[in-house]
Each structure stands twice: as C-alpha cells, then as structure tokens.
Amino acid sequence: MNFEQVELEVVDGIATLSLNRPDKRNAMSDQMRSEFIEAMEYVAIETSIKALVLTGKGKGFCAGGDISGMEKRLTAPVGELAINGWRRQLRVHHAVALLFEIPKPTIAAVNGPASGLGADTALACDFIVACDEANFTWSYIHRGIIPDGGGMYFLPRRVGLVRAKELIFSGRKVECKEAAELGIVDRVSTLDRLVADAQEWAKELSQGSAAALALSKTILNQSFETNAHQVFASGAQAQGICYTTTEHRSAVESFLQKAAEAKKNK
C-alpha cells in the first residue's frame, strides 16, 4: 500500500501507523484522513496483524485539524457551509470510529504535542504511551469550536466528567507528567524508546486468542452505555463463539494433556 501522508509498517504481526506530515506537525488534512481510513480498514481485516501502534513522524504527534481547511471554510458560500461541514464531520467520525472499534489492541505512542483532534485521536486508542516531550491540549475552545474527534466521549471516561470539563473549557496544555497523573497517559517512555516500547507492549497484549480479544474489546467499549444484563447477554453470545474457535480447543486440549502427564508422573 502506497501512501504519502501516512506510513504503514508491519513487523511480526504488529502494525505501526505513522502520521507523516512532520513539517505541519502532522496536522490532519483531508488527504491524510483518507489515507488513514484506508490504512485502518486494511489493519482491521488483515488477520496476520495482531495489534496497532499509532505515532507521528518528526517532533509532533498530531497538531489537530489542518488550519488550511479552516481557512477554506471561511470563504465558502453561506448556503453550502453547513452541509459541507456536516459531510466533513462524517469523515472525521468515520476515521475515529475505525480506530476506536478496530477489533485488535491499539496503542498511541505520543511523541510530541497532541492538540485538538490529535489529542482525541490518541484517546481513541485503547492505551497511550507518551514520552517526556509529549503534551495534550483540547484547544478547540480557542478556535470557537467544540471537540469533534470523540474527545467529549473519550476524555470523561479517562479523567472523570468534572476534569474533562475543566480541560475542554480552558483548552489548557497538559504536560506528560500531569497527563500520567490524571490517567490520560498509561505509560511513560523516553523519546528514543517510545515506539519500541509501544510495540513490545502491543506484542504482550496480542498474544491471546484474536477472537477472544476482539469480542472482549467490543463488549468493553459498550459497557458504560449498557446495563449489567446487557453485558451478560453479549458475553454469553461471545463466549458461545469462543467455544468454537481453534484457539479455545487447542488451549483446553493442551491443559488436559499437561494435567494427564502430571498425574501420570506422580
């Protein structure tokens, strides 16, 4: 797959997707979003890929939405502004949903500033590893807009409702140390080890049954919006599927064989 504004590399079952506009601090252009969506769709369906690491090239993770797109909106005819904005939002939300719902472990390796849409994109991953140079800011308020990349959904689940309001209303910068204390960041690494550490963690997280991981993630992602009985019902259906998988049968057979050998050697 050939891309210009993202790079996709797969090694030992771990995909590393790098945002690749370092001169623009990896601001998300329309082209980058299209390439991001194409890459994510490939990662989601390619069975040899077990997990995903998302990072940025250069000194920044992602500076948010491309300012040139905002400038273009200012000159659009009034009669087209709302519908064009709506269409753009559909693309934004499609990209974020792909990342959030991909049935494999995902880790954001935040190598520098993650601003606005960039901060939201990191939050859409299952886990966040950041280096000391990283910082986060939900700076939408400074542009007269609201978080549109999932931040109003993801951030309260990370830090609680009151803290999420404070960060979104103020648009202030959160340095790496505070981000770790608040629970925005799960692990801290050094810049030179960041991606390697994220890849190693991704390997650890993806050693188990791919089916069990996918089903568990899907149910967990919905658990805050569903009641206990709905989670139990979804779990029952998922477990029924797990019973039929090769991984489950092999694991049970291996356990029984070891138990029999242990009993025989007593």
Residues noted as catalytic: 93, 148
Burial 34-48, CB ≥16 within 10 A → b, else e: ebbbebbeebbeeee
Which tokens in the block code for residue 130?
């950041």
Spatial contact of 78 and 22, defined as CB atoms under 8 Å apart = no
Q: Any bridge partners for residue 175, and if so which?
A: 135
Spatial contact of 24 and 63, defined as CB atoms under 8 Å apart = yes
State which amino acid sits at residue 79.
G
Burial 99-122, CB ≥16 within 10 A → b, else e: bbebebbbbbbbbbbbbbbbbbbb
